Amino acid sequence: MTVAVRVIPCLDVDAGRVVKGVNFVDIRDAGDPVELAAKYAADGADELVFLDITASSGDRETTYEVVRRTAEQVFIPLTVGGGVRSVADFDRLLRAGADKVGVNTAAIGRPELLTEASRTFGSQCVVLSVDTRRSAEQPSGFEVTTHGGRRSAGLDTLAWVRQAVGLGAGEILLNSMDADGTKAGFDVELIEAVRDVADVPIIASGGAGRPADFAPAVRAGADAVLAASVFHYGEFSIADVKEELAQAGYPVRRAA
């Protein structure tokens, strides 16, 4: 591997504040998103992900304003998702300062959105967020979920990823709902399975609990590793993660 592994903090934003819970419940406040974004950029984050976790129409302008304020201060790539339903939503977020846009539920309901967005803005701007959990009812053993992992979408995860990449998704944000918030390590079996069917970059999400958890995710096929609460609450730093990755033999970008 010659491309540096990206370490990405995730900021779940609700009404203009960063929040975090376990398995998407027990939500608590974790700070101002622009302040946190600036701190993470200074600490050596390679990219940032903002997810508007409520994404009601009333909160959308708040999200655009947060994106604008962040883009003015932070000069690393920014992916924004949550409530994205149309090419017009892609356009507004990109104009506000996002570099990439994450889409989940809307693409499940209307997969051609991936094609429309990739043709309009380029596939590198289109990030498919896949919330998945184990399920004996799907051939791969993994199913796609919506509503924070609470509702089955009735789709096999690997079949959906394969279809989505074919339609124009340029990156996969792979969220293990089983591992989310547990700090028990990334789901390497899931990452390996998706790596086998996707020829685009994979961001592994869900389960980070200590710096040593990240290298196994990369070994399984992740191009980038994402975490939230462990960074927000200072349990360890981005530099700690990069040191572990470097010790494991993976190239990383160091903070300036």
What type of residue is 215?
A
| CB atoms inside a 10 Å sphere around CB 189 | 13
Cα gap 252→113, rounded to integer Å: 33
139 exposure class (CB count in 10 Å sphere: 0-12, 13-18, 19+): exposed
User: Are 178 and 209 in contact, with CB atoms under 8 Å apart?
Assistant: no
Cα gap 250→214, rounded to integer Å: 11
Cα gap 150→131, rounded to integer Å: 10
Residue of 46, 52, 89, 131 marked catalytic: 131
User: Are 5 and 47 in contact, with CB atoms under 8 Å apart?
Assistant: no
What type of residue is 38?
A
Angle between helix 60-73 and 33-42 (nearest 10): 30
Residue of 12, 59, 89, 156 marked catalytic: 12
131 is catalytic: yes
12 is catalytic: yes
Using alpha carbons, select from 55, 88, 74 the residue that is nearest to residue 9. Answer: 74
| CB atoms inside a 10 Å sphere around CB 198 | 21
Residues tagged active-site: 12, 131
